[in-house]
Each structure stands twice: as structure tokens, then as C-alpha cells.
Amino acid sequence: MHSRQATLLVALLLATGCSEARKSSPAPATSAAAAEETVKAEPTHAPAVPPPTGRDRPAKVVVDLEVKEVVRELADGVKYTFWTFGGQVPGRFIRVRQGDTVELHLQNHPDNKMPHNIDLHAVTGPGGGAASTFTAPGHQTQFTFRALNSGLYVYHCATAPVGMHVANGMYGLIYVEPTQPLPPVDHEFYVMQGDFYTVGKYREKGLQPFDMQKAIEENATYVVFNGSEGSLIGDNALRAKVGEKIRIFVGNGGPNLISSFHLIGEIFDRVYGEAGTSFSENVQTTVVPPGGAAIVELTVQVPGTYILVDHALFRAFNKGALGMLKVDGPEQKEIYSGREIDSVYLGDKATATGAMQTAAENAAKGALTREDQIAAGRQLFLGTCSPCHQLEGQGVLGAFPPLAKSDFLMADKQRSIGIVLNGKTGPITVNGKELNSVMPPLSQLPDDDIANILTFVRNSWGNTGAAVTRDEVSAVRSSTPRPPGAAR
Amino acid sequence: MLAVTSVALSARGQAPAPEAASTMARVGPGAYRPLYPPSAAEAEVPVKAFLLDRLPVTNAAFLAFALAHPEWRRDRVPGVFADEGYLSHWASAADLGADVDQEQPVVRVSWFAAKTYCAARGARLPTEAEWELAASASRTRPDGRGDPAWREQILAWYSRPNPPRLPRVGTTPPNYWGVRDLQGVVWEWVLDFNSTMVNTDARRAGDRDRLTFCGGGAINATDKEDYPSFMRVAFRSSLRADYTTNNLGFRCAADDVRGDR
């Protein structure tokens, strides 16, 4: 029989957590137990939150939580084997009241391959329930705890290798309502961030295995809300109406990355930082650590789409940490006007405006030089092209392709004329990097302008190439179809 | 049922020696490095050479056993020796039925049943050290654990849910010792499955707290990147001897009568 060196690490961590100042504890368990009613919890999938308990006294709450290992989409066309509490990531949201006696049943589905357990941060006791709920596939366990402290708590699997179980999605939230509940709001939502580590690159299609080495290096392939890249996008967006008050229960399962939770275009009226009992007002971004949570409240005053992000922005734009809150209702122009002015502003580059005129005059005389074209093209580029392709033609990583030193641009003159005229949608590879975005057709520009723009970009920022003539543009215009809606 | 009958005869054979040449492979001698060494002096556990089934025990072989030893039929086995899941995927206590392949590894067997099956063959279950020694071999090397690609391959199987239908035995290539299916098909019982991590009751009984969940699981581990070992330790320690699961089978071992010089 082997014997093992012991450690009380988990217990020590919990003891430290419990030493923080918290709200009053309920009466001892013995006094109320006899009169307690028994209720069955109805935990919800994200982004739904169970309704308030509506109780003014403690009860015995029975919670059933089923662990399932499932293959689901992590991103469009990307499958992953998630280990879940309840069939989805994050795990089902559990709602109880401070002082409740919670009887938790953990069921490990017979089709699962792994043993699992649950450590709820709302539990006062060594392991948070982990030792009591260690469950083989096809079996179930049960333990009971008293919800002594109010607040929003993460729960997660704590079976070795713990990091892998959590990285596969084994986390969720339990909300212990305080005896004095928070004021009612119009909507409550459940949003939980997590980081994922796959062998394939971001958005590489197919069933992607867990990459242990990337996880150890904390080099996330995906950072997402509610278990997949599209979970809060488009038809899945959170919805509210102008004037409504919203409370979001925000959690972070990790396993590795701290969230800088931000809602673009809104200011949180209140944030219960780290989901503690006190709140801050007028917060722009709140930190949510792995294994931690926050409660944020806001009132939406202006209609439109608000974007949830981890404001560590490459996670938002390159790893999936984006969600949407769509707000319907009448415009509120006194709060937000919308765009009032949209005109070209050239700043100190305005001295060059004469270049277009010079090019036009010389072209009329049949004396147009390459230098004339480059000067005029620069002018047009600044007004028309630089918002996306940027002032130095460097593009925007992952969104707008670079023109500077661009192999794609320089490979085919005819093609580049066609793209300016007809736009371009779908994947392309520029300097070895794949992009997938949309360029609108610019067929409203005259042939002269397009010729000048292309002559400029083909002779700037490290590109060297032949000039593009008006006739060449004209030929492509007459030989290619415009997309629907584009100028002829 | 002819095939079953012939397997039944061989399963009732007395000594392992005559069949060893064909159905068992000689493994070791070698040294097993436990994930959680009991003490610094036991960082390596010597393992004598032993014989190990080249393949996991199949449904057909276990059916023959149950027919020959009816006390292990699912309708007669005492509840203390096997939980309700015992052989529940078979059509009946004495018939596999159309949905169960004779050549799939038998699963939903308890430790008691597996141990008795091997004893009836004049064999025994492998110890954890023996099983781990055999399973640490890659196709070409007796110890493939330092090879990240090999580890990744094993981990990939552990990461997937059970397939709707288990493969037949023998579908994976033989390892260095000529043993197949140690990884990639089913979990397997070992004789001392509950020695690595004690269960919660035993943990409370001792004066030393032994956690293999959460933080405690990593503190004493010898190789923190050996995730497959973590997973096998976690799986075994979640079991009780009467438990059965959809993906837990076994194979038998025997002492090497030639010795290990």
C-alpha cells in the first residue's frame, strides 16, 4: 500500500478566503432546520439566470447537476470535446438564498470517460465539496452544505489534472442571494469567460484536441464568452429596451487568463467588484480573475448594439472574446447624436490637394506623367482608402490587408483593378497571412481616379511597379460584372 | 455459438504457460516510476518480468466464463460484488445479443468479477506497477513517456467521449512488448487500483490528508506534465471494487515461470 505525503493547500486557501469581512451569518443550522421547506433548484443554461428565490426564509434546496462530455462548436466549423456541468459551457447557473441548506447531487453520465467532482467556492469546508463528490462515470454522489456567505461564486471540477478539466469547460456560477436581496431589475444575464487551448490554430476547422503544452504556456487559442465564439452574437445577442435596467452576473472560469470585462458604449452604474458585498459606481472596465466573478449593473439609455469584450483587445478581435447587447427603442439624440459630420479632414496634408487638379489638367493635354499620377493617387488614397488600409498602407492585422510590400497586390495588376472596381469578399493570403474580410466595390470612382490610386499604391511603401492607365481600368470595367448595388 | 463454446474451453484451461506463447506477452523486467512515489527511496519500483495478455478480455471470453461460473451471471451475482450496471449492455444474462460484438472488449465488469475471471484461468490481474510498465512502452521503445507526440496521442484518446460503439480488440498496433490496446480502447482494472489515492473515508481515517484533487494533486507528482498518468490515477481512485462503467475492462497477467534472471 502506497502512502502519500499530505497537504492542506485547498483548506488553507479556503480559510484565507473566509477571513475576509463578509455580511452577517445566518442563525445556527439547528434552529431552523425542522421548519425548512424543501425546494428543487432549476439551474439555467447561460445566458439565462433563474428568477429570484422570492423567499424571506431559508429552505433546503436540492440541486441536480449532470456532468456530460460533449462535442460542440467552439467556433464556426471548429469542434471541441467539452466537459460540462449540464451539457453546455458554462455550467448551469445555480441560485439559492443565504442560509439555505443545499443538497447537491452530482451525476456523472455513463457515457463519460472521466471521473469528475465539484468544488463550489460558495462552500465553507475543505475542498469545497470536491472530496465528497468525486464520482466515477455512470455513478452519482451527494453532499450537503450550508450557504453561509452571500455572493456570486464560481464552481468548477477539481479532478486531476485540474487545469485540463477546467480548460475543457468545467465551470459555472452559483449565486447566493443576500438576506436583503439586490433591488429588482428588468433583465438578469449570465456571462462567463473562459480560455481554450487547441492543437489547431484559431479557427482551424474540424475537431480540435486539447493542447496541453499551450495550456501550460498560457498561450490561449480562444478566449470566449459562454463557451463558444458565437454564443452572444447575432441572433444570440443579449436583448433589452431603452430605459431598462440590466444586471449581468459575470464569471471567469479561466483556467489561466484574467478578464478585463468591458461593455463598449456603456458605463457600469454599479460594479460589485470580485462579487463582494460593496460596490463601486461609474466603472468602465472591471477585472474578473479566473475562479472569480463580478456583478455589474447598468441602465441602457440609447438604442443600438453594445459590444461585450475582454478589453485585452487581441483576445476580443483575434481570439473570440466578443458578445453583443442589442438595445431597441427610440433614439435619444440629446444623449447620443449619431454621426453629425462626415467629411475628409486632411490636416497638414491639405497642401497636396492641388495634385488632383494638376493630374486632370495634364491628362487632358495628353502630358500625364507617372509622378502626376502618384501625387494625385496619394491624395485620393488618403480620403478613400486609408481609413481601412491605413496611412502607410500597413493595414490592420486580421481585418484589413496590408498594401505595403504586398505580394498579393503586386502579383496581378488586372486583379487589383478588378478588386477596386468590384470589391472583394472571402479568404485571401497576403504575405503568408490569411485574411477574411470584405472590401466594398468602389466603382463609383472614375477610371482616372482608380488608375491614379493604383499607380500610387503600386509605387509606395516598398512597392515598385508599372503605372496603371485609365484605359486599363476602363477595359476591366467593361469586361467584369459589378456586384449587386454597386455603381456601374 | 460455436465460437463461444471453443473460447469457453480455452478460458477454462488450467495453467497459463501453454497458452502464454500465443495469447500472452513477456513484459519486463523494468522499473516503474510512480506519479506519486510513496517515499524518496521508492521513486522507482522494480518490476519483475511477467506475462500479460496481448489483448483485453473480450465479450465472448467473459460470456464463456459467466456460463461456466453461473454465480457471475448478471442475474445471479451478489450486489456486493457488482453494481447494477454489471454486464447490463448484454441482451440477457446468457446472451450477448445482436448489438454486442463478441470481439469487443468486455466492459461493465467489477473488480471482483475481473479478479475471479483471471483466477479461473490460473492467472491474476496485473498490478498497477506492471500495467503502467507495460503501458509506458511506445511502439518502438520500452519507455515512450518522454516523447511528447506519444503523450499527445494518448491524451487525445482520454480527451474524447466514449464512441457510440467500442472497437474490437486488437485494432491498435502492438507496443514494444507486443501488447495491444493498453491505450485507446478502454480503461483497465488493476489488482491494486485503490492504492494510489485513498478514497474519502480512508483519507479521513488517517492523520495525513491526501489530496489528489485540486492543488494537492500536483504537489507531490514526479512529472507534472504526465497528464495521462494523472488521468489514470484519478480514474482508478474514483472506483470501488463493485463499480462497473461503460469503458472499464481488464486483461490478465501471470508470473513469468522462467523467472527474470
Alpha helices in chain B (DSSP H): 2-11, 17-23, 59-68, 111-120, 128-135, 148-159, 200-205, 216-219, 227-237
The candidate with the shortest Cα–Cα distance to B254, out of B122, B152, B142, is B122
CB atoms within 10 A of CB A164: 24
Q: Which helix (H) or strand (E) holds A104?
A: strand A101-108
The candidate with the shortest Cα–Cα distance to A443, out of A386, A473, A484, A487, is A487
pLDDT for A285 equals: 97
- Is B260 within a domain? no
- Is B77 within a domain? yes
Distance from the A212 Cα atom to the nearest Cα atom in chain B, whole angstroms:
8
As a whole number of angstroms, the distance between CA A167 and CA B144 comes to 26
As a whole number of angstroms, the distance between CA A146 and CA A358 comes to 82
pLDDT for A353 equals: 61
- Is B85 within a domain? yes
Q: Do B162 and A112 touch (CB under 8 A)?
A: yes
Distance from the A211 Cα atom to the nearest Cα atom in chain B, whole angstroms:
8
> For residue A481, is pLDDT > 80?
yes
N-term to C-term CA, chain B: 44
Quickly state the pLDDT bin for B237 (edges 50, 70, 90). Answer: confident
Quickly state the pLDDT bin for B45 (edges 50, 70, 90). Answer: confident
The candidate with the shortest Cα–Cα distance to B155, out of B230, B214, B218, is B230
DSSP code string of B71-103? GGSTTTS-TTTS-TTTTTTSSBTTB--TTS-TT
- Is B166 within a domain? yes
pLDDT for A21 equals: 35
Mean pLDDT of A123-136: 89
> For residue A350, is pLDDT > 70?
no
pLDDT for A275 equals: 93
The candidate with the shortest Cα–Cα distance to B28, out of B12, B43, B13, B47, is B47
Angle between helix axes A370-384 and A354-364 (nearest 10 degrees) is 140
Q: Do A7 and B162 touch (CB under 8 A)?
A: no
| Alpha carbons within 13 A on the beta-carbon side of B35 | 24
- The interface residues of chain B toward chain A in range 174-203, judged by CB-CB distance below 8 A, are 187, 192, 195-200, 203
% pLDDT > 90, chain A: 70
Q: Are A153 and A104 in contact (CB under 8 A)?
A: no
Q: Do B208 and A6 touch (CB under 8 A)?
A: yes
User: Mean pLDDT score of chain B, rounded to an integer?
Assistant: 81
Give A243's DSSP letter: T
Q: Domain tally for chain B?
A: 1
- Is B261 within a domain? no
> For residue A264, is pLDDT > 50?
yes
**How big is the A-B interface in CB pairs under 8 Å?**
152
**CATH number assigned to the domain comprising residue B162:** 3.90.1580
- The interface residues of chain B toward chain A in range 9-68, judged by CB-CB distance below 8 A, are 34, 36, 38
pLDDT for A163 equals: 92
Distance from the A109 Cα atom to the nearest Cα atom in chain B, whole angstroms:
10
Q: Do B213 and A119 touch (CB under 8 A)?
A: yes
Mean pLDDT of B147-176: 85
> For residue A441, is pLDDT > 50?
yes
Q: Please name the residue that has the C-alpha cell 455580511.
A: A23
Is residue A160 less than 8 Å (CB to CB) from chain B?
A: yes
Mean pLDDT of A136-151: 96
Q: Do A161 and B247 touch (CB under 8 A)?
A: no
Instruction: Point out the residue among A137, A162, A213 whose CB comes nearest to the CB of B217.
Output: A162
Q: Do A160 and B34 touch (CB under 8 A)?
A: no
Instruction: Point out the residue among A112, A131, A213 whose CB comes nearest to the CB of B213.
Output: A131
Is residue B81 less than 8 Å (CB to CB) from chain A?
A: no
% pLDDT > 90, chain B: 52
- Is B159 within a domain? yes
| Alpha carbons within 13 A on the beta-carbon side of A240 | 24
Q: Please name the residue that has the C-alpha cell 472569480.
A: A292
Q: Is the peptide bond before A50 cis (omega within 30 degrees of 0)?
A: no
A6 contacts in B (CB within 8 Å)? 206, 208-211, 216
Quickly state the pLDDT bin for B155 (edges 50, 70, 90). Answer: confident
Distance from the A75 Cα atom to the nearest Cα atom in chain B, whole angstroms:
18
Task: Flag the least confident range among A78-92, A127-141, B135-149, B184-198.
Answer: B184-198
Alpha helices in A365-411 (DSSP H): 370-384, 386-389, 407-411
As a whole number of angstroms, the distance between CA B259 and CA B49 comes to 7
Is residue A15 less than 8 Å (CB to CB) from chain B?
A: no
CB within 8 Å of B150: residues ≥ 6 apart: B138, B144
Is residue B247 less than 8 Å (CB to CB) from chain A?
A: yes
As a whole number of angstroms, the distance between CA A324 and CA A47 comes to 12
Quickly state the pLDDT bin for A337 (edges 50, 70, 90). Answer: confident
B34 contacts in A (CB within 8 Å)? 2
pLDDT 10s digits, A360-407: 888 888 899 999 999 999 888 887 888 789 888 998 887 889 999 999
Top mean-pLDDT range of A242-246, A303-307, A330-334 = A242-246
Distance from the B210 Cα atom to the nearest Cα atom in chain A, whole angstroms:
5
**Which structural domain, as residue segments, surrounds residue B73?**
5-255
pLDDT 10s digits, B218-236: 555 667 777 888 888 888 8
Q: Do B155 and A209 touch (CB under 8 A)?
A: yes
Nearest chain B alpha carbon to A166 = B214
Distance from the B97 Cα atom to the nearest Cα atom in chain A, whole angstroms:
20
Mean pLDDT of A426-453: 89
- The interface residues of chain A toward chain B in range 215-274, judged by CB-CB distance below 8 A, are 216
Q: Are A107 and A270 in contact (CB under 8 A)?
A: no
Counting beta carbons within 10 angstroms of the beta carbon of residue A184, is it exposed (0 to 12), middle (13 to 18) or buried (19 or more)?
exposed
As a whole number of angstroms, the distance between CA A51 and CA A58 comes to 16
pLDDT 10s digits, A228-246: 998 998 889 999 999 999 9
Instruction: Point out the residue among B155, B220, B231 whose CB comes nearest to the CB of A5.
Output: B220
Instruction: Point out the residue among B161, B200, B214 whose CB comes nearest to the CB of A162.
Output: B214
- Residue A39's DSSP bridge partners are A61
Mean pLDDT of A455-467: 94
A109 contacts in B (CB within 8 Å)? none
Mean pLDDT of B72-82: 96
